[in-house]
Chain A
Amino acid sequence: MKSFIPTRSGSLPFTLTSELGIGIAFVVELLVFSLLSPYFLTTENLLNVSLQVSITAIIAAGMTFVILTGGIDLSVGSLLALAGILTTDVLKLQLPIAVSFPLAILAGLIAGALSGAFAGALITRYNITPFIVTLALMTVWRGIAFVYTEGRPIWELPDVFSILGSGRLLGVPIPSIIMIVVFVASHVALTQTRFGRHVYAVGGNKEAARLAGIRTSRVFMQVYVLCGFLAALSGILLASRMNSGQPNTGLGYELDVIAAVVVGGTSLSGGRGSILGTFIGAMLIAVLRNGLNLLNVGSYVQQVIVGVVILLAVMLDRKRSC
């Protein structure tokens, strides 16, 4: 008789093995850089990495939901720029800062959520594949960002705004804290709630999920709204770090984000993966970039190394899940 093996509370059993592989890779990476660079294993550098990774990691959390349903969102990089621009532009309105500050944040976040809703509607109503819808939106939002700003940055912002991206709480950068909050909330949502279960079900087998009584369109809608919202949140934080709205920020971020999710063990065909995996995936890539920079490795060589590591991480993962 096979003994009953209890699985870790709140998570699907298969994620354990796939996270283990990437987790080991991550630990190895930390060890290697600790040995090679004296600056790597310092509190300041680790906080720096957490700050740097926060921007893509927050989006990657949202992207995990989308990819779990078997979809993709390519518009996040452009959306990040657009949300930053909207927020900084509202800040420039002649309003008392106590009004304009929350209003600006709200404007950026709502824009993100609306973009997600728009993508979700196109995908579910008109049955267009997510890849195409979000590819189109990627260009549209980027274009609007440039048209809106005429290609120039929005600057001369109130200094308070920079607190969000550059401030620290108990020594920890605020974006890092927000990232942790986002990840904990996403993990709970994905593993402990009906919504999370529905995301896995829809990604695993859409028709079976529908016949089990799940409103699949609503689930698709929700994940794109969530992803758009988190992309906008990232955009606001990045704008705050630079204390300006830049139409050319976030170029190519969608690929960094997708890489983090995939390296984290989430299957591009949906139904399989975890938030914890995405977190480690994002950290793995960020630490790699940081470590290579600390070692003064040239940028061309870096690109090669990052690509190879992504491949290796995914191969390791596939091997484990076989």
Chain B
Amino acid sequence: MSPLLEMCGIAKEYPGVRALADVTFELRAGEIHCLVGENGAGKSTLMKILAGALAKDAGSIVVNGQNVALHSPTDAQAAGIGIIYQDYKLVPELSVAENIFLGQEPTKQHSPFIDKKKMHDDARKLLAQLGEEIPTDLTIAMLSVAQRQMVEVAKALSRHVTILAMDEPTASLTEHETVNLFRVIRQLKSEGVGIIYISHRLEEVFEIGDRVTVLRDGKVVLTTEVAQVDKRRLIQSMVGRELEDEFPRAELTRGEEILRVEHLHAHRLHDINLTLYKGEILGIAGLVGAGRTELARVIFGADKKSSGRVVLEGTEISPDSPTDAIRAGIGLLTEDRNQLGLILQMNVRENISLASLSDLLAGPFISRGKEEALAARYVSELNIRPHDSSMEVEKLSGGNRQKVVLARWLSTDAKVLMFDEPTAGVDVGAKYEIYTSINRLAQHGIGVLVISSDLPELLGICNRIAVMCEGRVTGVLSRDEATQEKIMTLATMMN
């Protein structure tokens, strides 16, 4: 039996960068084929070519034994290929049903009018197949991340896909939601759909993958049955060297108190009390919607508090804007680096220097020399690839983008730095580099707060972990006493 999809000798070159070279990838019907590799290894490029969003320079694509030319997303759709991107392609203002049938709305016979009843019925049926009960008239903006993903899957199903590629589908999901997603993926598999699963979480590869292909620097370095590899071998092929440990070890000594939050109330936050010490990494755990991001934003002055106190080094502060917070010495590395972190049109240098321009002035002008030096320092220190600070960040991969935002905050004189999901969608190698930077910050006496949905990560790098649930802090655990079970118990502790 011929495979469902064969991509042979695919090559793609950007000006100055070879993104893909002679890549061969095969997918069978009813198979889950994982695609892993560091950021910038070429996974996204390969997916864009499959989606018809990007033209390949060489190679052939064969679907069901037929050679196909994918010049546009419409061609890909016609070939039965569906792609679910990391940043979903849904229209937030439209309803669930409207999104699912976008571009193929059912009409009443021989009329230009949309058959709304049929559209909602069909949408409901599709979602039911996935075991979901999302009201089809809600707008996408009102849905949780996990629900949006289910809408994406339903949208793909409505287009009768036989090949479904998913890019980092669990990046923003909680454990529970991930379990549900896997159930759906297995169901699709049993119906004969071939699934390309891209993830940085290697545990997931072992949990649901049949086969795995590793990309490194635009080349395939390994394709094998999942049963025949272990995690160590996989990491080794991804980074091209042995990695000692997933988390760098660092000796941290807790200093005096630097930040204290007392009886803080705000939108979706109730009576928060927390203390952060110098040289400490404090983790914040909790389910999506527990109020972790909200807490960081209020401390940072991005949102308003309704009552309570924030005390920095013994002095009460009440920042009205991020500008004030930064002046006081607080930094926030936001989640969703593309929407809230980076200015995509600017280059690496300009993104790095954005929050510390006042230190780079020569008279009224920005000193080009100082700025270049600052950027060059972080590009090499954080290993931002390519090593070119005049590169537009738009052309950078996810992990490198995150390092750019990290560099921005490292270059301010912050006393307290908060990280919101710092390693979401970041590959193993880059993760390690980010952890190292966070450790170094703490060693320099900076108070570090890390919000993360990745429990092993929190357990691996934090001194203490505060757990939030429904806008309250339900417990604070020390490194020694914390376990995944204890955290989950606190995270689901309803009043």
Flag the segment in B93-101, B122-130, B364-372 that touches A.
Answer: B364-372
Give the interface residue-count category, chain B.
Answer: 35 or more
The answer to whether A211 and B17 have CB atoms under 8 Å apart is: no
Contacting residues, chain B, for A1 (C-beta < 8 A): 387
CB pair B365 A193 closer than 8 Å: yes
B302 → A minimal CB distance (Å): 6
A93→B346 CA distance, assembly (Å): 51
- What total of chain A residues lie within 8 Å of the partner, measured CB to CB? 31
Report A211-240 CB contacts with B as 1/0, cut-off 8 Å: 111110000000000000000000000000
A44 at the interface (CB under 8 A from B): no
In the complex, the answer to whether B366 meets A193 with C-beta atoms within 8 Å is yes
Residue A271 lies at the interface, judged by CB distance under 8 Å to chain B:
yes
Which A residues lie within 8 Å of B342 (CB)? 205, 208
Minimum distance in angstroms from A226 CB to a CB of chain B: 15
Q: Which of B28-36, B58-66, B161-169, B350-358 contacts A (4 or more CB under 8 A)?
A: B350-358
Task: State A193–B17 Cα separation when bound (angstroms).
Answer: 32
B368, A9: Cβ atoms under 8 Å?
yes
Residues of A within 8 A of B390 (CB): 4-7, 13
Is B343 touching A208 in the complex (CB atoms < 8 A)? yes
Q: Which of B259-280 contact A (CB under 8 A)?
A: none
B332, A211: Cβ atoms under 8 Å? yes
Given contacts A200-B346, A214-B354, contact A2 B323 (CB under 8 A): no
For A204, give the chain B residue with the smallest CB separation: B343
Whether B343 pairs with A209 at a CB distance below 8 angstroms is yes
CB neighbours (8 Å) of A6 from chain B are 390
Contacts of B386 in A (CB 8 A): 2
Closest chain A residue to B392, Cβ basis: A14
Query: Which residues does chain A contribute within 8 Å of B56, judged by CB atoms?
Result: none
**Bound-complex Cα distance A74 to B322 (A):** 31
Task: Say whether B334 faces chain A, with CB atoms less than 8 Å apart.
Answer: yes
Q: Which residues of B contact A9 (CB under 8 A)?
A: 368
Docked Cα-Cα span, A200 to B361, in Å, equals: 18
Known: A192-B365, A193-B365. A210 touches B388 (CB 8 A): no
Q: Which residues of chain B are within 8 angstroms of A194 by Cβ–Cβ distance?
A: 357-358, 361, 366
Q: Is the CB of A204 within 8 A of B355?
A: no
Considering the complex, which residues of chain A in the window 1-31 have a beta carbon less than 8 Å from any beta carbon of chain B? 1-2, 4-7, 9-10, 12-14
- The answer to whether B339 touches A5, judged by C-beta atoms less than 8 angstroms apart, is no
Q: Which residues of A contact B366 (CB under 8 A)?
A: 192-194, 197
A contact residues around B347 at 8 Å (CB): 12-13
Given A2-B17, A211-B340, CB of A12 within 8 Å of CB of B323: no
Q: Is the CB of B355 within 8 A of A2?
A: no
- Choose among B322, B344, B408 the residue with the greatest number of A CB atoms under 10 Å from its CB: B322
Residues of A within 8 A of B343 (CB): 200-201, 204-205, 208-209, 271
Contact with B along A264-288 (1 / 0, CB 8 A): 0000000110000000000000000
Question: Do A201 and B346 have beta carbons less than 8 Å apart?
Answer: yes
Partner of B355, one of A7, A14, A212: A212
| CB of B308 within 8 Å of the partner chain | no
B189-233 vs A: 1/0 string, CB under 8 Å?
000000000000000000000000000000000000000000000
Chain A neighbourhood of B355, CB < 8 A: 212-213
* B346 CB contacts on chain A under 8 angstroms: 12, 200-201, 204, 271
| Minimum CB–CB distance for B198 against chain A, Å | 25
Determine how close the nearest CB of chain A comes to the CB of B141; give it in whole angstroms: 16
CB of A120 to closest CB in B, whole Å = 17
Q: Is B345 an interface residue (CB 8 A)?
A: yes
A201 to B343, CA, bound (A): 6
A-B contact pairs, 25 of them (CB 8 A): A1-B387, A2-B388, A4-B388, A5-B390, A12-B350, A13-B392, A14-B345, A192-B366, A193-B364, A200-B345, A200-B346, A201-B350, A201-B354, A204-B344, A207-B339, A208-B341, A208-B342, A210-B322, A211-B302, A211-B334, A212-B355, A213-B323, A213-B327, A213-B355, A272-B345
- Residues in B lying within 8 Å of A, measured CB to CB: 16-17, 300, 302, 321-323, 325-327, 332, 334, 339-347, 350, 353-355, 357-358, 361, 364-366, 368, 386-388, 390, 392, 408
